[in-house]
Structures are given as structure tokens and as C-alpha cells.
Amino acid sequence: MATLDEIRSAAAKRIAEAGGLDVLNDIRVNILGKKGELTQLMKNLKDMAPEDRPKFGQLVNSAREEIERQLQEARDRIAKKARELQLEAEVIDVTLPAKKAQIGHRHPNSLALDEIERVFVGMGYEVVEGPEVEYDMYNFEKLNIPANHPAKDEQDTFYINKEILLRTQTSSVQARVMEKGKLPIRIIAPGRVFRSDEVDATHSPSFNQIEGLVVDKNITFADLKGTLAEIAKQLFGEDTKVKFRPHHFPFTEPSAEVDVSCFKCGGKGCRFCKGSGWIEILGCGMVHPHVLEMCGIDPEEYTGFAFGLGLERISLLKYEIDDMRLLYENDIRFIKQF
């Protein structure tokens, strides 16, 4: 009993003088641990008279509970003091300006693509996608560009092997859709394409195209002209005019390149249109009968038109951006303008 009283008083004194949680943990281990003083004291039970054991065990348990309570109170006291010191050290000046949250911005390409898709969907077109890693058959052969055709050299293709390549145009999606034979067809196919070009203000080895295709009975060049005229007005303003110039594409016949009147000067001539009053935006034409035939569509019964425009080209024009490289440098100062 004398030893128990000594342990209790010594524990109370050490706990009261403890200045940290580490010290309290040492006290707990020394007194209440497996080899602690109270645990060793309990081993004396076997040497006591049977009638004294219950009372002694009760006293030891009472001392254990008292010491555990004192330890918990000391922990709370030390934690509270530490919190007070922390609050004193971390004074908050509520008059200082708060940190401004950085909010993301839409990329000009995304803005332009959303607007183009909105216009075409409103005209009844469906937006479709296709693989960026494509077969030569869909990228070239089914588009009337057979082996050794000069157009293959003009596009500087990235080949993976003789039959597989990185697509040079999203026209490959048109071939896949026509091959399914589900007519009539009215689609646009936006997506990334790849060509071995040098990087400069107007070229990149990876850029985005939007191809359009309509196949149905009695489709004429007049339908193509009317469609593109409406698209130009929707994108660049109601006063925009279009001009068609003869051109050649292997997968369309006849073919044309399309210019729009400069929306900066109204066609009078300025720096933006290089004094001509017109800006080139896309290529188009009537789908070549041989292309329809290779895709399983009867050219005697069905006709169609196709067109293709560069998404970056539209972005540069709409937002008056001088250098295509700005679209890919991820400079937040540039992106914030949109």
C-alpha cells in the first residue's frame, strides 16, 4: 500500500510538471505499460492472502484510472496551450487582399469549333468522328488517290507502315461513313490531322480540320454554293459574300476554292486581307463519281458535295490572331483574352 501511494503521488507530480506530449507518453509507459510500475505491483497479488487480493486489485485499478484521467487532462491542457501559441503566431490581417482564384478559359479553337458545330447542327448535319491512326485505303485509295499519285507526295504523310499512317485529312471519315451505305448522308467530321510541315506562323505538323459531306439524290453545285454562303454569313456576318475559284482536288469534280469578303474592311482592301478584299477559307467540290462507286454508292442515282476547312484558319480569322503558334504555346496571358 505504501508503494502504491508513492507511485500515485510521484505520477501526479510528474504529470503536473510535464511540458509536452512526448513527456506524457513516457510517463504513461513507465507507469501503465507492460513493464510499468503499476503492472509490476500487480504481480504481488500471488504472494498475498486470498482475502486481501480483491481489495488490493481494486485499489490498483482505481490508481490506474486516476493516473489515466490526469494524463488526459494534461494532454488537453498542452494541446490547448499549443493551439493558443499557434493562433498568436499566425495573426490574420483581414484587410489584406485575398488570393484570387484562377478560373480556366475556353481555347479559341474550342470556341470556334463550338460555333461551327452549332451552325451545322442547326442545318441538320450530324457530327461524326473517326480514327487518327488510319489505313491508307481510307485516307487515300477510297478518295481517288491511288498508289504513286502526286497528291500523296504533296501531303507529306507520316507513315507507320505501308498500310497504316497518321491521317492527313478527315476526309477518311467521309469514306468510312459512305461505305456503311446509310443514305442520305449529311455530316461534318472535325478532328486532328497530321502532315510533315515545318512550324511557322501559318503551318504546323498537327492541326485540326472540319470536313463536310452531303450525299443524296439530285444534289447539285447550287446546293453547295448555297450551303457555304449561309455558313459564311453565320460565321462572319450577314454582309459576308463568297467567291468560288476553280481548283483541283482528286476526290471532287468539279472542285473549287472559296473566298469570303473581308469582314474587317467590307471588301475594300486592308492589311487583314492583304489589300485584295477577299480571304480564302476552304476547298470544296462535287464528290467524284469514282469515289461514290468505290464506297458502294451508285453515282447514277446519288450525287453529293464535300468541303473542308481548317479550324485554326477560322480561329485566326475570327479572333484576328496573327500567328498560329500562339494557339499551342499555352501562354495563359493569350488564353485569358478569350
Count how many domains the chain has: 2
Instruction: Mark whether 221 and 321 lie in a shared domain.
Output: yes
Do residues 70 and 38 make contact, with C-beta atoms less than 8 angstroms apart?
A: no
Domain end marker among 61, 89, 117: 89
* pLDDT attached to residue 155: 62
Instruction: Mark whether 267 and 301 lie in a shared domain.
Output: yes
Instruction: Mark whether 33 and 67 lie in a shared domain.
Output: yes
Instruction: Mark whether 129 and 54 lie in a shared domain.
Output: no
CA distance 4 to 10: 10
Instruction: Mark whether 82 and 148 lie in a shared domain.
Output: no
Do residues 63 and 4 make contact, with C-beta atoms less than 8 angstroms apart?
A: yes
Domain end marker among 89, 118, 137: 89
The answer to whether position 95 is within a domain reads no
pLDDT along the chain (338 residues), means of 10: 75 77 78 73 71 74 80 84 82 81 83 93 94 93 84 76 90 92 93 88 88 94 94 89 92 93 80 83 94 93 94 87 87 83
Report the half-sphere exposure of 207 (CA within 13 A, side-chain side): 27
Instruction: Mark whether 64 and 128 lie in a shared domain.
Output: no
The answer to whether position 100 is within a domain reads no
10 Å CB burial of residue 137 (0-12, 13-18, 19+) is middle
CA distance 169 to 282: 13
Instruction: Mark whether 122 and 218 lie in a shared domain.
Output: yes
* pLDDT attached to residue 235: 87
CA distance 24 to 259: 84
Per DSSP, the three-state class of 281 is strand
Which residues, in sequence order, are bridge partners of residue 194? 206
Instruction: Mark whether 25 and 167 lie in a shared domain.
Output: no
Instruction: Mark whether 198 and 316 lie in a shared domain.
Output: yes
Instruction: Mark whether 122 and 64 lie in a shared domain.
Output: no
Per DSSP, the three-state class of 312 is helix
Q: How many CB atoms are closer than 10 A to CB 337?
A: 10
* pLDDT attached to residue 153: 66
The answer to whether position 101 is within a domain reads no
The answer to whether position 94 is within a domain reads no
The answer to whether position 102 is within a domain reads no
CATH code at 180?
A: 3.30.930.10
* pLDDT, tens digit (0-9, with 9 covering 90-100), for 187-196: 999 999 998 8
Q: What is the pTM of this model?
A: 0.66
Instruction: Mark whether 221 and 306 lie in a shared domain.
Output: yes
- Domain extent, residue 83, equals 2-89
Instruction: Mark whether 51 and 171 lie in a shared domain.
Output: no
* pLDDT attached to residue 68: 82
